Amino acid sequence: MAKRNAKREPVKEVDSDIEDELEELDLDCESSSDDADSDVDADGDEDGDEEETGTASDAGEDDEIDDAILDLMAAQAERAQRKAAARMPNSEGDEPEGRLQSSTRTSGKSRMAATAAAVAKPEADAAVAGAEEAAAVASGEAENAEDVDEDGGGRIPDPGSDSSEDERPNRNTVGAVPLEWYKDEEHIGYDIDGRRIARTARKDKLQQLLDRNDSKKALRTIYDPYNDEEITLTKEELAMVMRIRSGQFPHVEVNPYEPYSDYFTREREVMPIVDRPEPKSRFVPSKWEEKKIVKLVRAIRKGWIKIEPRVQQDPEDPDAHQPPAYLLWADDGTAEGAGAGKSGSGLTYIPAPKPQLPGHADSYNPPAEYLPTEEEVAAWQMADVEDRPRQLPTSFPSLRAVPAYADFIKERFERCLDLYLCPRVRRKRLDIKPEALVPQLPKPRDLQPFPTTLAVSYEGHEGPVTSIAPDPWDGQWLLSGGQDGTLRLWEVRTGRCWRTWRLGAGPVAAVAWCPNPSLRVISAAVGSCVVLMSSGTGPEGAEEAAEQALQAATTSDREGAAAAAAVAAVAADGSGAAPEDAALEAGQLAVWRPRPAAGGGGLEVRLRFPVKSLSWHSRGDYFASVAPAGNTQAVVVHQLSRRASQNPFRKNRGRVVRVAFHPSKPFFFVATQNHVRVYNLAKQALAKKLVGGGGSISCLAVHPSGDHVLVGSDDKRVAWYDMDLSTKPYKALRYHQQPPRAVSYHRSYPLFASSSDDGTVQVFHGMVYSDLLTNPLIVPVKILRGGHSVVRSEGVLDCAFHPNQPWIFTAGADAKILLYCN
């Protein structure tokens, strides 16, 4: 054994650090045949440390086994040598030395270097070749040695080469296709012949742990997911990995310090590359250069070009003798002081964009995974021309069937045009998403409380309910008027109709409470009359105070004299007309008269035209009535304490629809069909004019602070006006399907609502900040629908908030009044 081992080539030395790490892996402790060579050290001697523990009999048996194995390997080597000699050509002197190149992959192991070397050198020592081939066969690394390609000679990989041809070929030939595409398939790809590579069953963690404990091979076995196989690394490959990790060359044979060979200048060329005679132009002065020099000289003489004088350098300065330094990696034409990225002309240097290189999708016959589906084709056709990809992957049977690109000339022209018209200023492209343009509003659940649930239904009217008004103090009572001519007082919490007044044959157009808490007076507009009565609610003494305020009283002295003269004229005529009608025909603005006790008592203010709305001043002494058909007498302001009426406007600019008093200041809001005029009553002048939208104004509401106004119009919009900001709407809300009928602000909560003929009530969160620089926050929070039904194209006719709670009352054309609570 010693003699045979002495003939083998010595193993090249391995670094001590790498050898120590390899010994830690205990690669030589296995009894497998692939580690038989590890018993021989670098000097060719057997490892004496391990043999000391064995007996003499064991050594003898090992020698006999080795002799038998070597005889078998010698026979196999001679058979392989005969096959190689039979394949060699007759003229051996003309042919180069053949090399054997493997064409199949070994099952789990790919080292065939020893067998390839033995076959590649037929004239070498047969015993040495047989020993090396036997070592390869014994280690399990040449199981398919007879399957070597018979068409050509073998090829020994160059350890110093970085060519991809020296690498082991992959069994899987799917290329750069992601393996995730095959995760649900029973195969992982295709081999070079197009056959499917079946997926092998992987061992679980427990089996891997047992294999690692049973055999040390598991520590140097790695899994190749691309080819779905396990590869066991040899000692040489582990040494290569250790060298790479330590920053050295992978192969020991590579010498990084080879002598330098001057490849280009070691042989001097005697003849020039071009041996034609020199042209005459190289010996004659250039005419154009002469003109250029004359032009520069003229510019220098006239002072157009400034030449700075040369600075005298100090000979004692050490930096004076240093060579000048230049910016080596600067762009061509960079001027000093022009800034980074600026050329000599002061323009930004912008390199032309490079076109994208073609990939698998640009092939004339791409893989099936790259072909688009029908949904992707439809999305590509619907996308904008500038946003969609250049083209979709299309499959053709052959390259001859590929048509010419239709947009080739157009794209080239556009590219040249882009390069020609490229702006010389670098601009950042803003990628703005549509979601970013939408303001970030808080969620409705963060803005609670607001009315959401139907709580109480008040039923009793026999026709549409046109107007409602909760009492402005504690919200215990609700006043309502309908087209059935009745005025009803409801108890809010129980829904009981506490009292009913029949005011006449005409419908009740509007109802309102007097804001004075000591009177508890209610008002209603019926036809051309305004009825004032005591509600009978409130603390003790409130009813008596209301009756005292509503005593039967005549009009003022001047108006009384005119009324008496008109009544006397009617009596003398004998026509039988009513005295009130006679007084109104005589030019009197309004007639105050007591109502009979059977009808509920109180006062009645009779006007010349039908009254459609009422509005009280915050102090409870003045109230205004609106008669849209009254022309110059459309707006009449009444004073309860003096029982007097006056017309504040000689002429109205447009048809008056609604009026309202400012909560704290002497301002009066008058809404016509197209504008909202704000008058200063103290100065008796126009203070501001709010411009309406495209539709006719139908309703009006003033914020409790008095600085904001809500206006509803027939174009289905609700406009929010900020008095301190502008005369135009700050926000236009269009959430209704039909024109709004009423708008209302809450007195204490940041809420407002609008009702419409579509049968819905839109509830909004409207926060007004004390900071003048912060705009109001308007967020829609709830749509109240389903409570009222649409009758004859009429939905919710009126809405009003509870004075203290986040509740809202709604009156509909279906003769119902609903209360929504939070």
Report the DSSP beta bridge partners of residue 458. 817
Contacts of 38 (CB under 8 A, 6+ apart): 27, 28, 235
Report the DSSP beta bridge partners of residue 754. 743, 762
Amino acid identity for residue 400 in this structure: R
745: left (phi over 0), alpha (psi -120 to 50) or beta: beta
Q: Domain check: are 675 and 747 in the same one?
A: yes
Give the per-residue pLDDT at 504: 78
Q: Domain check: are 652 and 516 in the same one?
A: yes
φ, ψ of residue 540 to 5 degrees: the values are -65, 140
Q: Domain check: are 682 and 618 in the same one?
A: yes
Q: How many helices (H) and strands (E) does the chain have?
A: 15, 33
Q: Domain check: are 580 and 716 in the same one?
A: no
Q: CA-to-CA distance for 628 and 696, rounded, in angstroms?
A: 13
The burial class, CB within 10 Å (0-12 / 13-18 / 19+), for 416 is exposed
Q: CA-to-CA distance for 378 and 259, rounded, in angstroms?
A: 65
3-state secondary structure 472-508: CCCCCEEEEEECCCEEEEEECCCCCEEEEEECCCCCE
Give the per-residue pLDDT at 40: 35
Helix or strand run (H / E) with residue 738? none
Chosen domain end from 166, 192, 216:
166
Give the per-residue pLDDT at 87: 56
Q: Domain check: are 78 and 37 in the same one?
A: yes
Q: Encoding tokens for residue 447?
A: 């803005």
Helix or strand run (H / E) with residue 417? helix 408-420
Count the neighbouring beta carbons within 10 Å of the beta carbon of residue 774.
Answer: 10
Q: CA-to-CA distance for 778 and 801, rounded, in angstroms?
A: 18
Q: What is the DSSP letter of 203?
A: P
Does residue 424 lie in a domain region?
A: no
Q: Domain check: are 540 and 671 in the same one?
A: yes
Q: Domain check: are 129 and 203 in the same one?
A: no
Cis peptide before 449 (omega within 30 of 0): yes
Structure-token match 């009384």, residue found: 560
Does residue 535 lie in a domain region?
A: yes
Interior angle at CA 642, CA 645 and CA 610, nearest 5 = 30
Q: Domain check: are 596 and 609 in the same one?
A: yes
Q: Domain check: are 694 and 573 in the same one?
A: no
Count the neighbouring beta carbons within 10 Å of the beta carbon of residue 541.
Answer: 9
pLDDT digits (tens, 9 = 90+) for 599-611: 778 888 999 899 9
Contact assessment for residue 245 and residue 251, using Cβ atoms and an 8 Å cutoff: no
Query: Helix, strand, or coil here: 694?
Result: coil
Q: Give DSSP secondary structure letters for 243-306.
A: HHHTTS-S-TT--TTPPP--TTTSS---S-S--PPPPGGGTSPPHHHHHHHHHHHHHHHTTSS-
Q: What is the DSSP letter of 379?
A: H
Question: Dihedral of CA 596/599/602/604: which sign?
Answer: negative
Q: Give DSSP secondary structure letters for 425-464.
A: S--PPP---HHHHS--PPPGGGG-----EEEEEEE--SS-
Does residue 689 lie in a domain region?
A: yes
- CA R_g for the chain: 53
Contact assessment for residue 623 and residue 587, using Cβ atoms and an 8 Å cutoff: no
Contact assessment for residue 101 and residue 157, using Cβ atoms and an 8 Å cutoff: no
- Total length of the chain: 822
Give the per-residue pLDDT at 12: 43
pLDDT digits (tens, 9 = 90+) for 107-157: 333 333 333 333 334 333 443 444 444 444 334 433 333 333 333 344 555
Report the DSSP beta bridge partners of residue 719. 711, 732
Helix or strand run (H / E) with residue 756? strand 751-756
Which of 750, 740, 745, 719 shows the shortest CA–CA distance to 801?
A: 745
Q: CA-to-CA distance for 722 and 688, rounded, in angstroms?
A: 12
Q: Dmax over Cα atoms in the chain, in whole Å?
A: 164
Which of 580, 575, 577 shows the shortest CA–CA distance to 607?
A: 580
Q: Encoding tokens for residue 78?
A: 């001679």
Q: Domain check: are 157 and 201 in the same one?
A: no
Does residue 807 lie in a domain region?
A: yes
Amino acid identity for residue 656 in this structure: V
Interior angle at CA 683, CA 678 and CA 685, nearest 5 = 45
Give the per-residue pLDDT at 623: 93
Does residue 298 lie in a domain region?
A: no
State which residues form the domain around 577: 561-589
Report the DSSP beta bridge partners of residue 697. 713
Q: Domain check: are 105 and 204 in the same one?
A: no
Does residue 376 lie in a domain region?
A: no
Q: CA-to-CA distance for 406 and 243, rounded, in angstroms?
A: 56
Q: Give DSSP secondary structure letters for 594-618.
A: EPPGGGT-SEEEE-SS---EEEE-T
Q: CA-to-CA distance for 443 and 448, rounded, in angstroms?
A: 10
Contact assessment for residue 504 and residue 485, using Cβ atoms and an 8 Å cutoff: yes
Stretches in the chain below the pLDDT threshold 70: 1-81, 83-168, 265-266, 269, 319-321, 326-349, 423-427, 552-587
Q: CA-to-CA distance for 498 and 489, rounded, in angstroms?
A: 6
Does residue 247 lie in a domain region?
A: no
Crossing angle of the two packed helices 113-120 and 126-138, in degrees rounded to 10: 160
Give the per-residue pLDDT at 411: 87
Does residue 442 lie in a domain region?
A: no
Q: What is the CATH number of the domain that holds 510?
A: 2.130.10.10
Count of the separate structural domains present in the chain: 4
Q: CA-to-CA distance for 470 and 492, rounded, in angstroms?
A: 9
Q: Domain check: are 642 and 742 in the same one?
A: yes
Report the DSSP beta bridge partners of residue 689. 677
Interior angle at CA 721, CA 718 and CA 722, nearest 5 = 150
Query: Helix, strand, or coil here: 691?
Result: strand
Give the per-residue pLDDT at 111: 38
Give the per-residue pLDDT at 555: 45
Query: Helix, strand, or coil here: 783?
Result: strand
Q: CA-to-CA distance for 752 and 762, rounded, in angstroms?
A: 9
Q: What is the DSSP letter of 36?
A: G
Give the per-residue pLDDT at 119: 36
Contact assessment for residue 252 and residue 12, using Cβ atoms and an 8 Å cutoff: yes
Contact assessment for residue 626 and residue 640, using Cβ atoms and an 8 Å cutoff: no
